[in-house]
Structure 1
Amino acid sequence: MTRSWKSSIRARYTVAAAVFSLIILGALGATLDLVVRNHLQTTAFDQVERVASQWSATARGGVLPRPIPAYAPVELIQVVDAGHHVVDASKQASSTVPLSWMRPPPDDRFQHAVECRPEGDCLALMAIRLTPEADAGVVYAARPEAELIAGGGLELAIGGAIAFLVGMTAYRTWTLVGRTLRPVAAIRSRISEITVSDLSLRVPVPHGDDEIAQLATTANQTLARLEDAVEQQRRFASTTSHELRTPIAGLRTQLEEAVHYPGDIDPHETIRNALASTDRLEAIVDDLLQMARLRQGDPAPPESVDLADLIRAEVANLPRRVPIAVEARQGVIVRGSRVQLARVLNNLLANAQRHAGSGVDVTLTVADGQAVLAVTDDGPGVPPAHRERIFERFVRLDDGRRRDPGGSGLGLAISRDIAHTHHGSLRVEDSPAGARFVLRLPLAKQAESRPGDGRGQGGPAGERLPMRCLKPSRLVDPRSVTDAP
């Protein structure tokens, strides 16, 4: 396909530079032409006026040599009478044909003009009327125009210089822009070779630290991130297919046994097992959908969330397994999605209950402008080598598989993704006993400026509460109190 010059940056820049230089140089050339022409003509008129004035004074005295002596550059001198008859002339001037038919009027005895002769040359001529009388004669003095301005030579020279300079400007612009865009062409060529199946190629980075080098560096960084993302997607797809294949295969085996051996299989037991496998599939699919929504980067509109109230609500809704002790600072406000933060807290509490031996502790404090929510159990804990691995998708340690065989292995991964979307973090930290999961979230601005907003504390919003109201309060699940000895 033939490309138009308008689609080429190199061609557009070259044309723009040529047009711009042509306009500038054209204006300069026209100015130079006027200045040079005016200077040469003024010099010529001064010379012929001086000679004409000299011989007009001599003619008024009545004494004129024959022929009139003349010296270069003013060699054409004539004295004519009122009837335009040549009275006297220099050797170079005609003795019969006057140099000009111009006759100055009595009130303007000095006149100059450019007279072009039939031979083709032009003269700078000065005519001086001897006296104001009607029968006064006229003295003519003339010289040829300067060769530089005769016949348009000056314009041709200036035009040639302009054309040369415009051509040089266009050539240099074409060369420099081509040299500048050469790395871009190399980058484009390399990017055209990159495919989804092979993202390991990188674009060449030119020397220096100019915009093109920064573009190439950014492109390589983007390609590296894209390669990592594609690799993660591949691993995710492989792991997901493996995790889905297991319950599907179990479900298929149960159904095939029920079909092939109807007399040996209890149909009710088969249905219960099939429902259990279906529940596991549903849990995996729901968690995958949740992760997809989080990865889309389009969260729900943020709202103010009081973490102490959220903890109370989630603890109250949990099924009774082990006692949960809550020590939460009041008035800790963050901005985000209440539903998603409730999902994180529910995952952490459910996980702690599964692994706890006798109880779970929940604390909420403020440190360095962040809300710090810690969920600690007294179970076997998480080995340091696995503290990051458990946040990977579908990763479940042996103890987790034993305690919750139907889990999807996505709860902690989803919880960390939610923490990241809220500009926070979720990690496992050291604990004297058991596992300690710590969620850190940035405080809302209103919470940073006001330790408490009055909600649930008996004070109006915005009122600064006494310091005793900011002390942590011990909250215990009312259902776990009945089980305490």
Structure 2
Amino acid sequence: MSLRARLTLAATAMAAVGLGIGGILLIVALDRALLGALDETARRQGEDIATLVESGRLPDPLPGFGAVVAQVLDADDRVVASTPGGDRLTPVVAGDDLAAVRAGEAIDLDGTRLGQPEPLRVVGVPTDAAGEPRIVIVAVSLEEQQRSVHFAKIGVTVGGLTVTAALAVLSWLVIVRALRPVDRLRGGAEEITGAGGGHRLPVPAGGDELSRLAVTLNDMLGRLDAAAARQRAFVADAAHELRSPIAALRTELEVALAHPDAVDPHDTAREALVEVERMARLVDDLLVLAHLDSPRPVRREELVDLGELALEVADGVRGGRVPVRVADDGGVFTRAHRDSLSRVLRNLVDNAVRHASSQVTVSVSGGGGSARVAVADDGAGVPEADRVRIFERFTRLDDARDRDAGGSGLGLAIAREIVVVHGGTLVVEDAAPGARFIVRLPAAKTTVGAPEAVPPRARTDGR
């Protein structure tokens, strides 16, 4: 069954059950009310006859007052007087029924005992005549009460069925109208191929749940389109970056094969190795970015001394184009993956060395619950307009392209991704002259067995 049919069936079933329960309660209430009214009428008739008994003016036969049968019985259950239609010798009721009537109850009696096609309702009114107890027995017909209840049952049944059918039709129309935006959403979703183009789902009018759902889905589609665009750009940039070393390597090999006598094999192998190493670095960077782009990049946390790590990175660039100086306040720790932070500092220091004029300074400090590492150079600096774009993947400024043709433009992007994964920030600011890259990470307190804080130290060129 369709959703429309299930909802309509559920609404109709609930309405039918509610109407059925209401109809049953109505019939029961009507039946009790009519019986109560009939009993009250019979007792009033009995009270009128009891008044005649008490006044000593009891006629024979008794006036009917609209009752089928009325009898006056003495204490020995003998008939003292009766209406013309009653038996003057035998009481209308006897035995347990008569005891119940004397106790003040109203009972039902089969009308065939008195030649009546309909059942009777019998009540008793106690009285006395000259000190002798008497009871007035009044039997009235239940024909009108049963006819009224029967007509009420027919009316409730027909009315309930009619109302249920009307509610079913109304429910179907309302549900169809309510689900019409869902059909439009489904149609809009079928037009989305996943190839981009900015297609969006139609948003229903109003601020109901469906419109909010459509807005949420459109936001999700926007994020997916943006992610797909970034992925396509990433693949295109990666392919473009790989073409350069592959083309250079191919050229070297083709020249070596075409002119074996004019080319030194050792030079060819050395130049080919340079291009292979360049491709290896690029592939390694791509793998790191793929790992960082995973929903939950796995990282092992350990206590890291940032000053010691900065000295290790500075030692790694010993003999570089410019000296690298490390200024450490001492005792600055954070919890992170040591190899990942080492890659961050190495990328920042390599970038600073490429752009510095005379020196690079790495400063490690702490305070305010954060650990701070600043890598500054005295080069041309980064224009303010490019201080955000420089962290995008495969982004290289013009001077960077001229200075380092072998760079892939992934170093700063990788550094920022690693820092963000560890709950920190990486920004660049003006160092006047040059640029200063600042890494902020959550500081960690040392525990028992952790390395003791060391006094401030300074190193130049890793030595």
TM-score by length of 2: 0.81
Aligned to 1:220: 218
Aligned CA distance change for structure 1 residues 108 and 182 (closer, same or farther; 3 Å): closer
* Residue 102 (1) aligns with residue 93 (2): yes
Q: Deviations over 1:135-189 (max 9, x none)?
A: x998543134444665633333344454455555555554554444433332232
In the aligned structure 2, how far is the partner of 1:30 from the partner of 1:399?
Answer: 91
In the aligned structure 2, how far is the partner of 1:187 from the partner of 1:203?
Answer: 6
**Structure 2 unaligned blocks of 5 or more:** 129-133
> Which deviates further from its counterpart, 33-42 or 47-56?
47-56
Any idea what SS the aligned residue of 2:303 has? strand
In the aligned structure 2, how far is the partner of 1:315 from the partner of 1:415?
Answer: 17
Q: Deviations over 1:200-252 (max 9, x none)?
A: 11122334444333322221111111111111111122222121122222222
In the aligned structure 2, how far is the partner of 1:168 from the partner of 1:100?
Answer: 55
Aligned to 1:464: none
Any idea what SS the aligned residue of 2:122 has? strand
In the aligned structure 1, how far is the partner of 2:373 from the partner of 2:50?
Answer: 115
Aligned CA distance change for structure 1 residues 280 and 170 (closer, same or farther; 3 Å): same
Q: Check conservation: 2:319, 2:461, Cα contact below 8 A.
A: no
Q: Check conservation: 1:258, 1:267, Cα contact below 8 A.
A: yes
Q: Deviations over 1:21-77 (max 9, x none)?
A: 4445544443333332222112211221332354367579584355x5444xx3423
* Residue 374 (1) aligns with residue 369 (2): no
* Residue 76 (1) aligns with residue 104 (2): no
Q: Check conservation: 1:86, 1:95, Cα contact below 8 A.
A: no
> Which residue type is aligned with residue 102 of structure 1?
V
RMSD (Å) for aligned C-alpha atoms: 3.8
Aligned CA distance change for structure 1 residues 479 and 337 (closer, same or farther; 3 Å): closer
Q: Check conservation: 1:18, 1:170, Cα contact below 8 A.
A: yes
Mapping for residues 34-183 of structure 1, pairs under 5 Å = 34-55=28-49, 58=52, 63-66=58-61, 68-71=62-65, 74-79=66-71, 89-90=83-84, 94=85, 102-103=93-94, 110=102, 112-115=106-109, 117=111, 121-126=118-123, 139-147=137-145, 150=148, 152-164=150-162, 166-167=164-165, 170=168, 173-183=171-181
Match of 2:261 among 259, 263, 268: 263
Q: Check conservation: 1:44, 1:145, Cα contact below 8 A.
A: no
Match of 1:191 among 176, 189, 192: 189
Aligned to 1:465: none
Q: Check conservation: 1:51, 1:141, Cα contact below 8 A.
A: no
> Which residue type is aligned with residue 316 of structure 1?
D
> Which deviates further from its counterpart, 52-61 or 186-195?
52-61
Q: Check conservation: 1:183, 1:212, Cα contact below 8 A.
A: yes
* Residue 400 (1) aligns with residue 400 (2): yes
In the aligned structure 1, how far is the partner of 2:240 from the partner of 2:345?
Answer: 28
Indicate the percent of aligned positions where both proteins have the same amino acid: 35
Aligned CA distance change for structure 1 residues 188 and 99 (closer, same or farther; 3 Å): farther
TM-score by length of 1: 0.78
Mapping for residues 223-262 of structure 1, pairs under 5 Å = 223-262=221-260
> Which residue type is aligned with residue 476 of structure 1?
R
In the aligned structure 1, how far is the partner of 2:461 from the partner of 2:306?
Answer: 19
1:418 Cα deviation (Å)? 1.4
In the aligned structure 1, how far is the partner of 2:89 from the partner of 2:13?
Answer: 50
> Which deviates further from its counterpart, 152-161 or 294-303?
152-161
Q: Check conservation: 1:336, 1:422, Cα contact below 8 A.
A: yes
Any idea what SS the aligned residue of 2:199 has? coil
> Which residue type is aligned with residue 429 of structure 2?
E
Aligned CA distance change for structure 1 residues 64 and 87 (closer, same or farther; 3 Å): same
Aligned to 1:365: 365
In the aligned structure 2, how far is the partner of 1:391 from the partner of 1:178?
Answer: 52
**Structure 1 unaligned blocks of 5 or more:** 459-468, 481-485
Q: Check conservation: 1:122, 1:150, Cα contact below 8 A.
A: no
Aligned to 1:33: 27
